[in-house]
Amino acid sequence: MTISGKAKLAGVMGWPVGHSRSPRLHNRWLDQYGIDGAYVPLAVAPERAEQAIRALPALGFRGCNVTVPLKEIAYRSVDRLDETARRIGAVNTIVVAEDGALVGGNTDGFGFLENLRAECPEWNGGEGGSQGGGHGPAVVIGAGGAARAVVVALLDAGIPEVRLVNRTRARAEEMAADLARFDFAGRVVVVEWVSRETALDGAGLLVNTTTQGMAGQPALDLDLGALPVSALVNDIVYVPLETPLLAAARARGNPVASGIGMLLHQARPGFRAWFGVEPQVTPDLTRYVLEG
Ligand code: ATR
């Protein structure tokens, strides 16, 4: 597809940004839907990020995605925030509104939930249903930026209790205290790292949001013995696609969901806002996006 002088513009801003899979994904969709548009990598140093974000409307951009380490700067640089971004405290999707205002959203939690629903339709945690697997508290390992999007999504979806386990307890406590401001009080329970296996008892979902298990990193040190076999296990790490945690869960019979779908699904709302088409996440996308 040729890019004309009228092409609709969007991109991903990060530092560095060369590792981002988003240009491959969005340009594939642009091609597939025959849209005259371009989605470009925007390598912007943190000290210039606010300036770059404020310049998006002047450059004719319809918006952009924001990735590490600029999500908090984007949160502070936009004109308006949607409720999800406010709760998460970070922005990953900026849309230039009709009036030229920069509107910040966060679709990471949406991507996380959509991935679970797509990979494991019988998991209906949070939907208030009483049939099927996946019920009981959710266990989230890690308390970084990714964990926060995951926890907010689970609470918003109606999960009654999230057990938050982090190596550095203070970070988990801080997140729980912060989220208590949004009517989530008492629903985030912090569990000590040394007794992390106790959090698995009766759980319906286990999510790893740490970097443990990523290629080149040691596996997450977690004995799954106490986890019900009906619990859904998800790793937001997607290189490798099958992390040691997912392999161990699969071997004992748990349903599993890999992390790549979170990346694919979180991209949908931005694409729809900038380019006017609801893109589909199809099985071939995973291979295509990871190959690049
Ligand atoms: P992100 O924003 O992508 O979530 P981050 O803010 O750097 O990244 O968070 C990384 C998470 O992985 C943290 O929860 C971190 O735990 P600490 O808060 O104790 O640092 C967790 N993590 C990193 N290395 C770890 C390890 N060796 N064992 C356990 N947790 C680890």
144 among the known binding-site residues?
yes
Please give the backbone phi and psi of residue 66, each rounded to the nearest 5 degrees, phi first.
-130, 130
pLDDT in tens, 92-137: 999 999 999 999 999 999 999 999 999 999 887 654 444 334 468 9
Q: Which residues contact 5 (CB under 8 A, 6 or more apart)?
A: none
ipTM greater than 0.90: yes
Q: What mean pLDDT do residues 11-25 have? A: 97
- Beta-strand pair 162-165/138-141: parallel
Residue 220 has pLDDT above 60, yes or no: yes
Q: Which of 92, 167, 207, 222 best tests ligand 1's pocket when mutated (most atoms within 8 Å of CB)?
A: 167
- CA 210 to ligand 1: nearest atom: 12
Element housing 30 (H / E): helix 22-32
Model-level pTM greater than 0.90? yes
Measured in Å, residue 144 CA sits from the centre of ligand 1 at 6
CA of 237 to the centre of ligand 1 (A): 12
Ligand 1: centre distance to CA 211 (Å): 6
Identify the residue whose tokens are 């939690």: 109
Q: Model confidence at 279, in pLDDT bands (50, 70, 90)?
A: very high
